[in-house]
C-alpha cells in the first residue's frame, strides 16, 4: 500500500499512519446520517491509526477515535494527503 500523495482511493486502502481527506460517502441514507453526525464530512481530514490490510480500521476524526469495519471504509472515497 505505498500509495502516493493526491491519490484518490477508498479509505481501506490508506495505510497506517497516513492522513487522507474525505471526498464522498457512498453509503445508504441511515448510515450516511450517522457518519456525517459523527464528523465524517467531505473535506474532513481522517487520520488512519490502525490498518492491517484486513479486519477493521481505527481512525481519528475531529479528535475522536473511531473503529470502523472494512466494509464501511470501502465506501468512503478519500484523497491521500501524506
Binding site for other proteins (CB under 8 A): 24-25, 29-39, 41-44, 49-50, 52, 55-56, 58, 62-69, 71-72
CB of 27 to other proteins, least distance (A): 10
The strand pairing partners of 61, in sequence order, are: 64
Judged by beta carbon, residue 4 or residue 52, the one nearer other proteins is 52
CA distances from 19 to 14, 15, 30 (A): 8, 9, 26
Judged by beta carbon, residue 37 or residue 82, the one nearer other proteins is 37
CB of 53 to other proteins, least distance (A): 10
CA distances from 47 to 4, 19, 29, 53 (A): 16, 5, 24, 16
Amino acid at each position: 500500500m505505498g500509495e502516493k500523495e493526491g491519490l484518490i482511493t477508498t479509505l481501506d486502502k490508506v495505510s497506517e499512519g497516513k492522513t487522507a481527506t474525505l471526498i464522498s460517502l457512498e453509503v445508504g441514507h441511515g448510515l450516511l446520517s450517522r457518519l456525517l453526525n459523527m464528523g465524517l464530512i467531505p473535506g474532513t481530514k481522517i487520520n488512519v491509526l490502525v490498518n492491517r490490510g484486513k479486519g477493521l480500521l481505527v481512525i481519528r476524526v475531529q479528535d475522536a477515535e473511531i473503529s470502523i469495519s472494512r466494509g464501511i471504509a470501502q465506501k468512503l472515497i478519500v484523497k491521500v494527503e501524506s
